[in-house]
Amino acid sequence: MFMKTLVFILFIFFNPLVSADSLKSAIESEIRSNKNIARDIYRNPYETLSFFGIRPDMKVIELSPGGGWYTEILAHYLKDEGELIAAHFDPSMSDFAKRVRRNFEKKLASSSVYDNVKLVSLNEKYSEVESIDAVVTFRNLHNWIGPNWDFIIKNSHKSLKKGGLLGVVEHRAKEGTSLENMKKTGYVTEEYAIESIEKLGFKLVAKSEINSNPKDTKDHPKGVWTLPPVLRLKELDQDKYLQIGESDRFTFLFKKI
């Protein structure tokens, strides 16, 4: 009895350390491109995924993974004990969607690390009902403003277990920014994000300034895409925007209620 109790105590005590070490290992994995690693200073993957409470034994959905910046980390982190579902663009939506989806599929085929990643479309069912521990999305809310918003958030809610987590990182707009300007600039207000997610069955449980950037004035000629890594103005004032770095972002954690 004593030995069983001791083993249990040691497991509880050391398990968070094992989880932290495996996340660090995933972030330092050789499958990550140097281009993506260079963005760690702005995107803080260790702190962000830790804040979201993502563990290696979880079933996780990544919404709209784009080129797979976070997928590189999550696929490695969840490969042995967990499961990753990537809800990407439906290639029938547009030529852009088709191109980005095709490039993402090439990434998944490039390494055995991605063998257990399940690819689904953003506009369809993501998983069995109440089978998922956490849903995460990074810098995507501005793309969903309109009819897609309710579908994506409701679909995520259906997939999550009771008390499941929704982690969100988004470009932060100045308070009072209109909906039209949110769509135009790529920056979303905290108020809009919270109200629009909570009305669909979630409760905000934590905020973090992990991904904030006070240098970002949010008044750029091409919106958030003026800043790196896009640098839409190309060489024009490039040094200025490189000095600012990536956008100011809020980091929110919601729970399904």
DSSP per residue, 181-242: HHHHHS-B-HHHHHHHHHTTTEEEEEEE-TT--TT--S--TTGGGGSTTT-TTTTTTHHHHH
Tokens coding 54 = 């993502």
pLDDT of residue 9: 38
pLDDT of residue 5: 39
Q: Does position 12 have pLDDT exceeding 50, yes or no?
A: no
Contact 171, 142 (CB under 8 A): yes
Higher-pLDDT residue of 3 and 175 is: 175
Q: Is 237 exposed, middle or buried (0-12, 13-18, 19+ CB in 10 A)?
A: middle
pLDDT (tens digit, 9 = 90+) per residue, 88-98? 999 888 999 99
Confidence tier at 174 by pLDDT (50, 70, 90): very high
Residue 180: Cβ within 10 Å count: 9
pLDDT of residue 16: 53
* Amino acid (1-letter code) at residue 133: D
Percent of the chain with pLDDT over 90: 89
Q: Give the Cα separation of 156 and 165 in Å (integer).
A: 10
pLDDT of residue 93: 81
Per the rule left: phi > 0, alpha: psi between -120 and 50, beta: everything else, 231 is: left
Contact 74, 48 (CB under 8 A): no
Contact 27, 73 (CB under 8 A): yes
Q: Which fold has domain 2-211?
A: Rossmann fold (3.40.50)
pLDDT (tens digit, 9 = 90+) per residue, 208-244? 999 999 999 999 999 999 999 999 999 999 999 999 9
Q: Does position 3 have pLDDT exceeding 60, yes or no?
A: no
**In terms of pTM, does the model score above 0.85?**
yes
pLDDT (tens digit, 9 = 90+) per residue, 31-90? 999 999 999 999 999 999 999 999 999 999 999 999 999 999 999 999 999 999 999 999
pLDDT of residue 91: 83
List where CATH 3.40.50.150 sits in the chain.
2-211
Residue 130: Cβ within 10 Å count: 13
pLDDT of residue 13: 44
pLDDT of residue 78: 98
Contact 123, 151 (CB under 8 A): yes
Q: Does position 19 have pLDDT exceeding 90, yes or no?
A: no
- Across the beta sheet with 160-171, the strand order is 117-121, 83-88, 59-63, 132-138, 160-171, 249-256, 202-208
Side-chain-side CA neighbours of 176 within 13 Å: the count stands at 0
